[in-house]
Amino acid sequence: MENKLIEKVIEGLTHLYDAKVDVKQVQIQKTRKDFEGDLTVVVFPFLRASKKGPEQTAEDLGAYIKENVAEVVAYNVVKGFLNFSISKVYWLDVFNQIATTENYGFHAFSGKTIMVEYCSPNTNKPLHLGHLRNNFLGYSVANILKANGHKVIKTQIINDRGIHICKSMIAWQKFGEGETPESSGLKGDHLVGKYYVRFNKELKKQVVELTEKIVALKQSAENRGVFYEGLENLGFSAANVKLDIKTALDNDLSIDAIIKDPSITLNTELMRNAQKMLLDWEAGDEGVRNLWKKMNQWVYDGFDVSFKTMGVDFDELYYESNTYLLGKDIVAEGLAKKEFYQKEDGSVWADLSHTKLDDKILLRGDGTSVYMTQDIGTAVKRYNDYPQLNGMVYTVGNEQEHHFKVLFSILKKCEYKFSDELHHLSYGMIELPDGKMKSREGTVVDADDLMEMIVADAKTMTQERGHLDGMNEAEREELYSLIGLGGLKYFLLKVDPKKGMIFNPAESIDLNGNTGPFIQYAHARIQSLLAKAESLGFSKQYDVVEMNAKEQEIIKLMNDYPSVIKEAGKLYSPAIIANYTFDLVKEFNNFYQTVDILREENKQNLAFRLCLSENVGEVIKSAMLLLGVNVPDKM
């Protein structure tokens, strides 16, 4: 109808004013709820052609379109806005098309292939609340892109190497006493995470001890030379001696101030051991590699359990331990081509001054790689593996916005054509009422614990409400999971990805308001209605219908579903799907509460309302599945 109105507006302006108007000047929008009508034309762009005021121009155009468009039954003018009311016959035809369209709302194959990266965890700790938003967001975006007709490859990069992994390994060697997931009863990722936290606690102790030794040395040293010699005996290199320790001590700063000097942390026994282990790993040391494989496998086994509970999966896995080597080769090639440069300490850097970004280190002086090296290698490998790719979406929190600006700039500098096809799906952080999460200190909200807790809360809520008659224990447990995890997913997805949010578990499973269970309950209610109608022998076949205004509003919302999917795909925003579904459910609930469907005496109207309810249920189910949320038939 929008396209037809655009055509008739242009035709009307030519007929009325002998004016030629570009199609881009014709603005069609949904009529505001406080005005009568279905679609609105903004007439201000036509005033130069009409040489009349907005109200008169709208009146002229409205009269012409009403006379020449059979579906327009009325119009009204509000200043420069021309509102059209579309006939019930038209809306009934729209609904009939919806009801007979397979996979309604989904778009035909676009010919494009897009890779969506999400999760991308480190193998030194379990998944936490932030990972839940990441996984649910990436998985939903992948579903939405599929609904837009694209072929989608779901992937993650597993950060399975680096200094953070070595920290867990060193702590397990030093304090683990052979503990395993089997002996401890802990999931593998939780066990490894336990030793990552232990490393950082022990590291803090060593930093304090080393700082106290430095201060004592300063106080006892006869002269500066003796002091520097003593620092070197404590493990500080000549280069490190020239850093901030000297300045801090010369200014007689407190221990609390001195302790923040990064060179102190680097020279603790634990950090020196971790750095050595990283070098040994890159050199292929058999013992280090075997320990690395064993502990990483513990983590993978744990992650698999978490992913299954979340209801997310992946088509392709990439490992930093493989891609960083390609990244190092690309950096070496770039250095040879003078795309990068080398400093005196041997480190390799990218000059990004042409993009107004700071220079970025790509290889350390000791030859070890950084995150950026790995990400360069991963991007190139993915396009080598899938040359048909038309785009890649990185689902990563907004604290990494600068990282991806730098990554995309480096790939462009290296003249990779795909650099213009990369998109960072940046999302806001989740905070708790008492502040941010800190994984080093073990104060994160564990993903497994949270999912278990929220399903338990859903169980309590559902049992208090009743309505479980006729369900066996397995069906009840499945329902608790659907409600709890569905509520959690919906809560984390209904907010625009760009915005941060404060997580409130109780709100997520509330049966009232903009929540997953509220929508799930509407779907269950529709299925109950249809089951009762079937038991009474009522038909869903109709010919002539006396459609009311509430039914028309529902159809208008259902008519928006394909464009909502398109918009959500364009903006990579599941929130658009979530809030559309909430609006549809609110409209249906209003209809359900004011119209007694099963007691309708007119059999044609009864059949239509049953068919309308059935199709609303199908759209609800379809939309919620795009979010990764299942809807129950009973609740």
Q: What is the pLDDT of residue 298?
A: 98
Q: Report if residue 304 sits inside a domain.
A: no
One domain, residues 437 and 458: no
Q: Report if residue 591 sits inside a domain.
A: yes
Distance CA 40, CA 29 (A): 5
One domain, residues 193 and 136: no
One domain, residues 265 and 339: no
One domain, residues 137 and 183: no
Q: Report if residue 510 sits inside a domain.
A: yes
Neighbours of 290 (CB within 10 A): 10
Q: What is the pLDDT of residue 507?
A: 87
> Which residues have C-beta within 8 Å of that of residue 120, sequence separation ≥ 6?
134, 156, 157, 158, 159, 396
Q: Report if residue 107 sits inside a domain.
A: no
Q: What is the pLDDT of residue 231?
A: 77
One domain, residues 176 and 146: no
Q: What is the pLDDT of residue 398?
A: 94
Q: What is the pLDDT of residue 502?
A: 85
Distance CA 214, CA 191 (A): 35
One domain, residues 416 and 486: no
Of 86, 105, 132, the residue at which a domain comes to its end is: 86
One domain, residues 411 and 516: no
Q: What is the pLDDT of residue 430?
A: 86
Q: Please give the full DSSP string across 294-357, using - where no structure is assigned.
A: HHHHHHHHHHHHHHHHHT---SEEEEHHHHHHHHHHHHHHHHHTTSEEE-TTS-EEE--GGGT-
The number of residues making up the chain comes to 635
Domain around 189: 168-287
One domain, residues 471 and 325: no
One domain, residues 419 and 459: no
Low-confidence residues of the chain: pLDDT under 70: 237-259, 432-443
Q: What is the pLDDT of residue 116?
A: 98
pTM (predicted TM-score): 0.90
Q: What is the pLDDT of residues 31-78, one digit of tens each?
A: 998 899 999 999 999 999 999 999 999 999 999 999 999 999 999 999
Q: Report if residue 305 sits inside a domain.
A: no
One domain, residues 586 and 466: yes
One domain, residues 434 and 455: no
* Total number of domains constituting the chain: 4
Q: Any idea what the CATH number is for the domain that residue 416 is in?
A: 3.40.50.620
One domain, residues 271 and 357: no
Distance CA 556, CA 547 (A): 13
Q: Any idea what the CATH number is for the domain that residue 32 is in?
A: 3.30.1360.70
Q: What is the pLDDT of residues 503-524, one digit of tens each?
A: 888 888 888 899 999 999 999 9
